[in-house]
Amino acid sequence: MTSSSPTTFLRALRDLDLPDHPEAVVVDGRALSRAGLRAVAVAFGARLPDAGPVAVFAEPTLETVVAVSGCLLAGVPVVPVPPDAGPAETAHVVTDSGATCWAGPPREGVDLPVVEVPTVADDVPARDRPDDLPAPVAETETAIVLYTSGTTGAPKGVVLSHRALRTGIEGLADAWGWTGHDVVAHGLPLFHTHGLVLGVLGSLHLGSRVVHTGRPTPQAYAATPATVYFGVPTVWTRVARDPEAARALSGARLLVSGSAPLPVPVFERLRELTGHALVERYGMTETMITLSTRADGERRPGWVGLPVGEARTRLRAEDGHEVPADGETVGRLEVSGPMLFDGYLNLPETTAEVLGPDGWFATGDLAVVDADGFHRIVGRESVDLIKSGGYRIGAGEIETSLLALPEVQEVAVLGLPDEDLGQRIVAYAVVAPEDADDALAARMVEHVAADLSWHKRPREVRFVPSLPRNAMGKVQKKLMLDVPG
Ligand code: MLC
Ligand code: AMP
């Protein structure tokens, strides 16, 4: 067994000697100081029935911040549950993660003891308010399990240690000059890396204030004074279409885009409107943020910059050789470093397919690197992993869901280019001619929204007489992507 130092993640929440602010954390208009958050988070941790993982219904609320912080301070793994997930997906996350209790409102598919989440210290009886923090667990212990889609099957639990989160955040602090003097604003979901781990937990580690705007709308961003704004490209595309909101962000220190490719015209338009060249960064649930442009360095539209902190990258050709750093030759991007995940929960074989014994992780993304070490993400190897609005969605899970409808004989799900969402989920379905109508299309969309989650619903259904297949019977999705409309 390897020894490991105690975790120091969430330093600014552990160490109350650091400067505090009455509105250190604001979610949708409700605020806590860090001292206040620490008190209720520790009280929440003390209520947990055992050391088992805690499933947290991760709405964008102060309760989510308290529950997640409380688990991390208590050294208990936390499992954020997407609030828009249907009963089947919720049940999968709760069961697969082995969660032993539930922090959130009653929910179909969840049969676990509920732990109430306090947000006001005075509401917690004095006897239930520990004076001190629990002893920190080892850095190598699991901090969080984030569920994310693969090309097929149900979402997989990505296991991240306290060390992965800490080193990932400290790398970004270095790249972005992110300090306790910053105010971070965003309105992203609190069940993924971007909104939860970077926006909220990153701030609680580095001591910046964080303001969650409820929704990531241009108006909400414009109305929230901050030094650093986080957004997925869809958010920035919408800001670029709202000149007044965009101009309101001119006084920021950094505007940061990530989770999907930022279109170059959006980068250019925002430069015109705000005077800012956006910082672009690339990451994955499995890797934290591994590449970024720098606060004090070049920002090149369409490029995601240099390795962050202790992250290392390499680009491999199909034959396994490293590709030249010429800014043109495309290779498979691999990443190593202490910010990597420990594996997919309960899936050792799937983990071994992507995470080698040498510590290199195959991202599934294709990239080029130039002589200065600048990276550009070219695309993904598989068309079956779709990024829509910054959400990662597996074509396979949607196809499986749709095939449960008796009318759907065959189906292929694709991510088609979309100006707003980056990719738009389109389901190509083979059904009997008499079934092919708007009512069935609407029912298919509703079925996915209810069965999986709202953000995984197809935005469009196209009825087709057949799907193109090769001699082996495999659907030729790349051919379908080449055929317009
Ligand atoms: C939402 N709606 C629902 C619903 N859920 N209606 C019925 N049932 C439900 N379950 C409604 C909303 O209220 C809203 O209505 C409308 O549907 C649209 O919802 P939306 O999903 O908010 O808007 P949309 O335009 O589809 O989404 C754009 C978006 C969203 C940018 C807001 O895609 C988003 O939040 N993306 C962020 C994804 C993300 O954080 N990814 C990071 C992954 S981590 P109305 O009427 O109010 O408009 C990662 C690592 C890294 O990638 O590198 O960062
Ligand atoms: P997720 O696990 O949701 O973080 O999704 C990770 C995937 O998002 C990566 O494998 C990339 O395909 C994509 N991605 C994240 N950031 C960027 C970026 N800046 N540019 C292009 N693709 C990105």
Residue-wise burial string across 67-98, b where 16 or more C-beta atoms lie within 10 A, e elsewhere: bbbbbbbbbbbbbbbbbbbbebbbbbbbebbe
Neighbours of 19 (CB within 10 A): 11
For ligand 1, whether the C-beta of 194 sits within 6 Å is yes
Segment 458-469 mean pLDDT: 97
Residue 5: is its pLDDT beyond 50? yes
Segment 418-434 mean pLDDT: 98
State what percent of residues in the chain have pLDDT above 70: 99
**223 CA distance to ligand 2 middle (Å):** 28
Alpha carbons 357 and 193: distance in angstroms, whole number: 25
**173 CA distance to ligand 2 middle (Å):** 20
**Minimum mean pLDDT among 13-17, 240-244, 285-289: which range?**
13-17
Alpha carbons 367 and 307: distance in angstroms, whole number: 13
**Position 485 confidence tier, pLDDT thresholds 50, 70, 90:** very low
Segment 285-314 mean pLDDT: 98
| pTM exceeds 0.95 for this model | yes
Model confidence over 75-112: pLDDT tens digits? 999 999 999 999 999 999 999 999 999 999 999 889 99
Alpha carbons 300 and 284: distance in angstroms, whole number: 21
Model confidence over 312-336: pLDDT tens digits? 999 999 999 999 999 999 999 999 9
**28 CA distance to ligand 1 middle (Å):** 16
Model confidence over 31-83: pLDDT tens digits? 999 999 999 999 999 999 999 999 999 999 999 999 999 999 999 999 999 99
Segment 256-270 mean pLDDT: 98
User: In the prediction, which pLDDT does 178 show?
Assistant: 98
For ligand 2, whether the C-beta of 292 sits within 6 Å is no
**318 CA distance to ligand 1 middle (Å):** 36
Q: Whose CA is nearest to atom 3 of ligand 2?
A: 392
What are the structure tokens assigned to 467, written together?
A: 């799907």
Alpha carbons 43 and 399: distance in angstroms, whole number: 43
For ligand 2, whether the C-beta of 285 sits within 6 Å is yes
For ligand 2, whether the C-beta of 375 sits within 6 Å is no
| DSSP annotation string for 93-137 | HHHHTT--EEESS--TT--S-B----SSGGGS-GGG--SSPPPPP
Return the ligand number nearest the Cα of 85: 1
Pocket test for ligand 1, best of 190, 192, 392 (most atoms within 8 A of CB): 192
**Position 131 confidence tier, pLDDT thresholds 50, 70, 90:** confident
401 within 8 A of 451, measured Cβ to Cβ: yes
**58 CA distance to ligand 1 middle (Å):** 14
Segment 342-347 mean pLDDT: 98
Which single residue is written with the structure tokens 């917690």?
A: 124
Q: Whose CA is nearest to atom 32 of ligand 1?
A: 216
Taking each helix axis as running N to C, give the angle between helix 34-47 and helix 62-74, from 0 to 180 degrees, rounded to the nearest 10.
70
User: In the prediction, which pLDDT does 132 show?
Assistant: 83
**Minimum mean pLDDT among 167-171, 414-418, 479-483: which range?**
479-483
**Alpha-carbon 252 to chain mean position:** 23
Taking each helix axis as running N to C, give the angle between helix 438-451 and helix 395-403, from 0 to 180 degrees, rounded to the nearest 10.
120
Alpha carbons 467 and 475: distance in angstroms, whole number: 6
User: In the prediction, which pLDDT does 387 show?
Assistant: 98
Residue 2: is its pLDDT beyond 60? no
User: In the prediction, which pLDDT does 120 show?
Assistant: 87
User: In the prediction, which pLDDT does 124 show?
Assistant: 81
Please give the mean pLDDT across all residues of the chain.
96
Model confidence over 209-237: pLDDT tens digits? 999 999 999 999 999 999 999 999 999 99
Alpha carbons 418 and 439: distance in angstroms, whole number: 24
For ligand 2, whether the C-beta of 455 sits within 6 Å is no
212 within 8 A of 187, measured Cβ to Cβ: yes
Nearest CA-CA partner of 375 in 323, 427, 414: 323
For ligand 1, whether the C-beta of 283 sits within 6 Å is yes
What are the structure tokens assigned to 345, written together?
A: 């929960």
Return the ligand number nearest the Cα of 459: 1
For ligand 2, whether the C-beta of 377 sits within 6 Å is yes
User: In the prediction, which pLDDT does 312 show?
Assistant: 98
Alpha carbons 229 and 199: distance in angstroms, whole number: 9
Residue 122: is its pLDDT beyond 60? yes
Alpha carbons 290 and 361: distance in angstroms, whole number: 12
Query: Which ligand 1 atom is at minimum distance from the Cα of 289?
Result: 53
Segment 186-193 mean pLDDT: 98
Model confidence over 357-408: pLDDT tens digits? 999 999 999 999 999 999 999 999 999 999 999 999 999 999 999 999 999 9
| DSSP annotation string for 163-190 | HHHHHHHHHHHHHHT--TT-EEEE---T
In the chain, the domains with their CATH numbers are 1-203 (3.40.50.12780), 385-480 (3.30.300.30)
Report phi then psi at 385, rounded to 5.
-110, 115
Torsion sign, CA atoms 376, 456, 424, 421: negative
**Position 121 confidence tier, pLDDT thresholds 50, 70, 90:** confident
Alpha carbons 389 and 51: distance in angstroms, whole number: 35
**413 CA distance to ligand 2 middle (Å):** 19
For ligand 1, whether the C-beta of 390 sits within 6 Å is yes
Alpha carbons 71 and 89: distance in angstroms, whole number: 22
85 within 8 A of 148, measured Cβ to Cβ: no
User: In the prediction, which pLDDT does 484 show?
Assistant: 54
What are the structure tokens assigned to 316, written together?
A: 């491999």
User: In the prediction, which pLDDT does 483 show?
Assistant: 60
